[in-house]
Amino acid sequence: MSQYASLLIALPLFGAFFIPILKRISKSAVMPFLVLVTLIQTGIAAWVFNEVYITGKPIIIMAGGFRPPIGINLYIGHFAALFVLVIAVTSLLMTIFSFKAVSVEPKDKYAMLFLLLMLGATGMISTGDIFNLFVFMEITAISAYALIAYNKTGEASEAALKYIVLGGIGSSFFLVGVALIYGSLGTLNMAHIAQLAHLVNPTVAKAGLALLIFGLAVEAEQFPLNAWAPDAYQEAPHPVTAMFSAFVVKASLYAMGRVIYILSAVEGWSSILRLLIILGTLTVIIGEMSALRQNNVKRMFAYSSIAQVGLIAVGLALGTESGVSASVFHMFNHAIVKALMFLAVGYVAVELGGTEINKFEGLGKRMPVTAFAITVGAISIIGIPLFNIFWSKMQLILAALNAQYTWMVALILGASLVEATYYIRLIHTIWFKGEGEKVKESSVLALVMLLLVALIIVIGIYPEPFWNVMQKAGSDIFNVAQYIKNVPLMGVSP
Amino acid sequence: MNELALIVFAPLIAGALAWLIDIKGIREIIGVLGAAVPLGYAALLYQKVNGGLSFAINLGVFKLTFALNALNWFFLGIGALVGFAAILALVSTGRDSYEWLFALMSLSGVLGVFLANDLMTFFIFWEIMTFASFMMVLHYNKAASLKYFLLSVFGAYAMLIALGMIYAKLGTFDFAQIQQAMYKEAYAVAFKADTVFSKGESILIYLLFLIAFGVKAGMFPLHVWAPDAYSETNQSYAAMFSGVLSKTGVYGFIMLYLLMGTRLAIELGGFRSTTKFGYIIAFLGGLTIIVGGLLAALQEDIRKLFAYSSISQLGYILVGIGVGTALSMQAALFHALSHALFKGLFFLIVATIVYRTGKTTFADMGGLAEKMPFTFAMAFVAILSLAGIPPLVGFASKWVLFEAVISQNLPVLGGMVFFGSAIGFVYLIRFTYAVWFGQRPTDLDNVKDAPLSMAVAMAILALFNVILGIAPGLVARELNKIFGKEVIGGNLYVLDLGFGKYNALAILIYLIAGIVIAGIIYFMGAKARRVPVTDTYQSANPVTMDYNLTIRRNFFLPLKETLAFWLRISFDKLYHDIGAWIEDLAEVLRNYIYNGSVQSYAWYLAIILLILALWGV
Amino acid sequence: MNPYYFASIALILIGLYAILAKRNVLKMLVGLSIMETGVNLLLISVGYVSGRSAPILSEGITPDRAVDPIPQALVLTAIVIGVATTAMALSVVINLYEKYKTLNVEEIRRLRG
Amino acid sequence: MVKRIFAIVFILIIGFWMAKALDQVPFGQDRMLVGKYYLEHVKEETGAVNAVTAVVVNYRGFDTLGEVTVLFIASTGVAALLWRKKRKRTAKTEGSVVLTTGARLLLPFIMLFGVYIFIHGHLTPGGGFPGGATIATAFLFLYLAFTVYEVDHKIFEPLEGLAGVGYVTVGLIGLAIGGYFLFDWIWQTWGIGKENIGRLLSAGFIPIIYTLIGIKVGTELTGIVDNMIKEPEEGGQ
């Protein structure tokens, strides 16, 4: 029965392939079909979520019926179950937003690319095989290239070009890493690699791990490699940006975390981790500093999202279980908050025709619900208690201090001071500056925004149930021995 | 629900309700009820103070624990009382539900800080209080609120790092456990055994806590946010803001003493008769008194004057804490109470004046004594109490403080404290002269007296000022209960420090006698006749009413000229320049790194590969 | 140094050099596809076992006479991914040229800061 | 000029690093682990003679599913990005006589050869992708020869979608019958063609999948060629 979880991959694929046929039948049925598919996907994801969290055992999907490492297996553990649900729900909300936000013509192509972006992220999170991770990473990347350039303006093409060149280099070197790992171990299944990791020759292991992490770091927006991200976030259609910052980046972050911990038996492991922590801290600082004097609010949120991603990467690279669970909790919180804020900014851009800061003056009077959503999002990102990001940021900082990285924490807190500045300036511009006549806000989107705001406040006030889920998800990544035991490896005689 | 939880969360829930039900009448009632609950319970819990009442919520991520003991009951009393008075006054000056939500949220934050039993809860409610009070200031002025928020969050993050270091080494947040661990550390240091925290780390933790609590208490180098924040917010909220929220900084310093006092004392050694680390706090406190007092005298805006005076009064408390003996600690607590009372009263008076006249600078005020007699009476009580005139609580606490400082023969601190009280008197003359006496501008003729809600609030605080002034023994008994031993002797009306006595009742009797005699002379003897204002100043040459005779502007111009050199060094400008410099750095960094060309981005990738190649190989 | 490894690394580096040094966007994309070809060659050469032939088990070829089939399967996928990336890149460049009228990397810099 | 020198220096260092890493993976040594299992069990578990095809379709079927999706994204993306209201072919020079007659003559044979490649995927080298590419070259041949020839999107896109839907349905049938997604139910449960390994009708659902892939790749690559050749009208968006 549990093999039906493979519908998580089959359904969006079936939907995407079915759209060209559906387009022949009735052109206007494409978008509603998109909502239907994401709705069913959410249903399946919810079923998988409580299946995994009730039985406590991960679902292992063996494609083609062959046991790993012979066949490819999907490992839907605590983390994958949680985040597949996050992906499905965010995509559902963004399809609703796409009705209003996407006006550029070939909408059926947009729907196909939208579904495949969701598929790529879901695949990346649930796969249990390194090369399959590469394939799903490419699916996410290429559909992201297409979606970023979708608006067909000069700037959109420029942003997409940057992402293609950098993404191309990153994935090529990722493949070199896979070649090295396969060359020395002879297997591609993650659990099998984790089992045999100690047999790898030190130089190959170090180089392989470094290249794998380099490839993933380009997608996961670490400091110098994230130069494509601000442009891509700014130029992509609004629902795509929200999806991008909510889960596409998280998928590559998770992949990086998974690769780090399955190769933890490798000899040069701690030096690469320290490099990753330095990169992560630099990402936070440069991300926050660059957002300081932005007059395009969408680009400002892009930089802030990059900074939070850097914080998550630091959490992952700490090498302690509390660090990993804290970064998973931060991923979850950040996904909600950033989905809300990019939805709100997108909606403002759709209604008022642009995301420059002067469009936001007096927003409190013109679009009260959207202004309220942005304010709650901004306040929770700064890290104020009674909101959700506070708990995960606190856990991250305590975990970092536990791992004796006092200087890193001081720099990160300094950066979040900078973050507080530009968010407060935004809040002040929205509520206490400028005038404007009232704009009628669509009730559906208002409802979606209020739903997300309610979720933020609920997690902020009583984080206990969420934290238990996060700890299980964190140990799912960190505890590699358990991971190897869960995957039914066939004893392949060397 | 446990009483402690009710005390802490009642204002927050009331604030949220008031914000949701945005109807003019109901919102006020809910708000006042929300503020009354903590006051009521604080009184109720008086007997059960040492009953070890505690309450804990398990939030999964952290366990929030609250506990009641003699010390935080004392601070709880201050917070609840002045908080209730401020919320009562907010009824008339409150503009919209936004202010009700955040005023009550900050009250809830303060009470949470006082009742917290572990460092993490302390930090969480500290952040809630900072955020709520920031939102009150943001409502009025962005620059002031931004400066306030950044400095206080800077302090909060300093505390977070210290807290994190303690948690990393000791694995716990709980006050009691940390206290024991620090005692063990102290002995280990004494006998040169190996310790969990190195000397450098304990100094770092001390400095971080110093910054964190210094910011909140408005200590000298970190006080720049206070004048703007206190003046740029709803004036009745300012009463709570300066009266209660600054007490959290004081409470923090006392926590620092309780947790790490012995360790730091042994570690850093002594200085004259106090500990070195204590003397730093005391000296900075002394500087705060002088700077606060001098700047207060030179202010043109009534709100700014009281903001600076509030900072300088806090300097007294810091000196009391810094000296570090049991007597000086009790003096500091006593002065914390009296400061909250008379400063709260002063800000309520300012709120009434601003509410009624709409003016805030001295130049366009004057001669309000006839028009607002009740407020003037309240102001009179407050002035006496702040200046330290015997029958009121201000004198009692200042007297104990002076005794404490002198008995430890610390000449420099003693000098600062005395200078401070002199300066205190100076800016009070400025206030009374410019606002109450002198010639009333024509447009203030139809000014009415304080509205009922503000009058009641002021009356409550004035009453306490008088009662505790006459019977300081009430407070002394509570303070002794906190310290467990008889530090300040004497019964209800007499404070006996062993080397000095103060009989409040006797002085009151002499005062009443004096007033009676003065009254008799006034009515019977001298033919007192009303003298028109114009007569007193121009030595009898003809002058008309519309010419402004009273010196309301630049009252202390000579003082300003003498201090001109010192006034140029302003920490406010320093912080502003640092901020601007960081912003320019950010601008340069952003344009240099994200310069838009794909090739340079590809170069970044190549550089990272190079680093991997060189480091990884 | 085995010639196949040497060739594959050389191809990867030539591709990287083209991306780093060439000013025309199309040349960069050519460099990108050269790099992908180099990586595919590397994948294949990792799987080669000297003295054995293609893994098609018709008559005469027994399992111990065949080369490792997995890298060849991986390369099939990698080639298609290379094609997809290049196709996407070219269509983006077509749009870019239509709007910017230039292919010089230095001039494509409207999104910065 | 300095930039080029730096680039070369960087590249040499990176190259040296990768070479050092690769030295530890000696060339030509038999390090097969999972590969050995495939070679020994390919005949009885999948019935395919060509081990690579068996690995591509059966053992690692998920990769191929992903790969087909990647190509589908490429063709959709190209279509989405180059979409204009009115587009037409602007080729001026008609193909020479040799080219046009050659096209008419050779077209069926190229098509036939492409079909041959993906039908015999499980026996001879090459499979769905090379077969599909050959078919696409046939269409390209027509584009080169005739300036007016255009592929009709009304037919090609649904065909492409149909092939994709077919592939996923095959996987779902495997899920329904064998309990596992992409399970080779023809070979493993029904056991058809077990006896004639090496001949056409063998190797379970590999021929079916490769035919679907062949059609899909053919139509997609032709779609990409068509989108790239057409020029937008002046009034285009």
What was the pLDDT predicted at B536?
54
Q: Does the residue C53 lie in any domain?
A: no
What was the pLDDT predicted at B537?
54
- The residues spanned by each domain of chain A are 272-484
Rounded Cα distance between A179 and A200, Å, is 13
Q: What's the DSSP call for residue D59? A: I
Residue B548 pLDDT more than 70? no
- pLDDT tier, B257 (very low <50, low <70, confident <90, very high otherwise): confident
CA distance B235 to chain A (A): 19
CB contact under 8 A, B59 and A401: no
CB contact under 8 A, A224 and B153: no
Q: Which range is least confidently modeled, A156-165, B214-223, C53-62, D128-137?
A: C53-62
Interface of D with B in 89-148 (CB under 8 A): none
Identity of the residue numbered A182: Y
CATH label of the domain that carries residue C13: 1.10.287.3510
* Nearest-CB residue to D34 (from A24, A146, A187): A187
Residue B210 pLDDT more than 60? yes
Q: What is the pLDDT of residues A444-457, one digit of tens each?
A: 999 999 999 999 99
Residue B529 pLDDT more than 70? no
Interface of A with D in 119-148 (CB under 8 A): 119, 123, 127, 129, 131-132, 135-136, 138-139, 142-143, 145-146
What was the pLDDT predicted at B531?
64
Peptide linkage before A69 cis (omega within 30 of 0): yes
Q: What is the pLDDT of residues A155-203, one digit of tens each?
A: 999 999 999 999 999 999 999 999 999 988 888 999 999 988 888 888 8
- Answer yes or no: is the ipTM higher than 0.85: yes
CB contact under 8 A, C19 and A176: no
Identity of the residue numbered B192: K
* Nearest-CB residue to A6 (from D63, D161, D175): D175
B581 interfacial to chain A (CB closer than 8 Å): no
Q: What's the DSSP call for residue B525? A: S
Between β-strands B270-271 and B274-275, what pairing exists: parallel, antiparallel or unpaired? antiparallel
Tell me which chain A residues have a C-beta less than 8 angstroms from the C-beta of C38: 172
CA distance C39 to chain B (A): 16
What was the pLDDT predicted at B528?
61
Tell me which chain A residues have a C-beta less than 8 angstroms from the C-beta of C7: none
- pLDDT tier, D96 (very low <50, low <70, confident <90, very high otherwise): confident
Element (H, E) at B496: strand B494-496
Tell me the mean pLDDT in the region D124-140.
Answer: 88
Q: What is the pLDDT of residues B408-430, one digit of tens each?
A: 888 888 888 888 888 888 888 88
Q: What is the pLDDT of residues B115-172, one digit of tens each?
A: 999 999 999 999 999 999 999 998 888 888 889 999 999 999 999 999 999 999 888 8
CB contact under 8 A, B596 and C110: yes
Residue B534 pLDDT more than 70? no
- What is the SS3 assignment for chain A? CHHHHHHHHHHHHHHHHHHHHHHHHCHHHHHHHHHHHHHHHHHHHHHHHHHHHHHCCCEEEEHHHCCCCCCCEEEECHHHHHHHHHHHHHHHHHHHHHHHHCCCCCHHHHHHHHHHHHHHHHHHHHECEHHHHHHHHHHHHHHHHHHHHHHCCHHHHHHHHHHHHHHHHHHHHHHHHHHHHHHHHCCCEHHHHHHHHHHCCHHHHHHHHHHHHHHHHHHCCCCHHHCHHHHHHHHCCHHHHHHHHHHHHHHHHHHHHHHHHHCCCCCCHHHHHHHHHHHHHHHHHHHHHHHCCCCEHHHHHHHHHHHHHHHHHHHHHCCCHHHHHHHHHHHHHHHHHHHHHHHHHHHHHHHHCCCEHHHHCCHHHHCHHHHHHHHHHHHHHHCCCCCHHHHHHHHHHHHHHHCCCHHHHHHHHHHHHHHHHHHHHHHHHHHHCCCCCCCCCCHHHHHHHHHHHHHHHHHHHCCHHHHHHHHHHHHHHHCHHHHHHHCCCCCCCC
Centre a 10 Å sphere on the Cβ of residue A209 and count the other Cβ atoms it contains. Answer: 28
CA distance D115 to chain B (A): 42
Pair A158, C107: CB distance under 8 Å = no
Tell me which chain C residues have a C-beta less than 8 angstroms from the C-beta of A178: 43, 74
Q: What is the pLDDT of residues C2-25, one digit of tens each?
A: 888 999 999 999 999 999 999 999
Q: What's the DSSP call for residue B437? A: S
Q: What is the pLDDT of residues B40-86, one digit of tens each?
A: 988 888 877 777 788 888 887 788 899 888 888 889 989 999 999 99
B586 interfacial to chain A (CB closer than 8 Å): yes
Host domain of residue C72: 3-48+65-107
Interface B:C, Cβ pairs < 8 A: 35
Q: What is the pLDDT of residues A13-69, one digit of tens each?
A: 999 999 999 988 888 899 999 999 999 999 999 999 999 999 888 888 888 888 888
CA distance C33 to chain A (A): 9
Q: Does the residue C57 lie in any domain?
A: no
Tell me which chain D residues have a C-beta less than 8 angstroms from the C-beta of C66: 39, 51
How many domains does chain C divide into? 1
CB contact under 8 A, C112 and B603: no
Residue B540 pLDDT more than 70? no
Interface of D with C in 47-86 (CB under 8 A): 49-52, 54-56, 60, 63-64, 66-67, 70-71, 73-75, 77-78, 81-82
CB contact under 8 A, A289 and B589: yes
The neighbours of chain D, by the rule of 3 or more Cβ pairs under 8 Å, are A, B, C
C26 interfacial to chain D (CB closer than 8 Å): no
Tell me which chain B residues have a C-beta less than 8 angstroms from the C-beta of C110: 596
Mutate to test the interface with C, among A155, A172, A355 (most CBs of C within 10 A): A172
CB contact under 8 A, C105 and B597: yes
How many domains does chain D divide into? 1
- pLDDT tier, B538 (very low <50, low <70, confident <90, very high otherwise): low
What was the pLDDT predicted at B273?
77
CB contact under 8 A, B613 and D7: no
CA distance A156 to chain D (A): 11
* Nearest-5° Cα angle at A12, A7 to A16: 140
What was the pLDDT predicted at D236?
45
Q: Does the residue C59 lie in any domain?
A: no
Q: What are phi and psi of A60, to 5 degrees?
A: -105, 115
- Token readout for D207 is 């021929």
The neighbours of chain C, by the rule of 3 or more Cβ pairs under 8 Å, are A, B, D
Q: What is the pLDDT of residues B258-276, one digit of tens each?
A: 888 888 888 887 777 788 8
Percent of chain B with pLDDT over 70: 95
Closest CA to C106 of C3, C6, C28: C28
Using 50 as the pLDDT threshold, list the residues of chain A that sit under it: 494
What was the pLDDT predicted at B561?
85
CB contact under 8 A, D79 and A13: no
Mutate to test the interface with D, among C4, C81, C83, C97 (most CBs of D within 10 A): C83
**Per-chain mean pLDDT for chain B:** 86
Q: How many CA atoms lie within 13 A of A382 on its CB side?
A: 29
* Nearest-CB residue to C80 (from D38, D67, D124): D67
Mutate to test the interface with D, among C76, C86, C90, C95 (most CBs of D within 10 A): C76
CB contact under 8 A, C20 and D224: no
Residue D237 pLDDT more than 50? no
Rounded Cα distance between A270 and A260, Å, is 10
Residue B348 pLDDT more than 60? yes
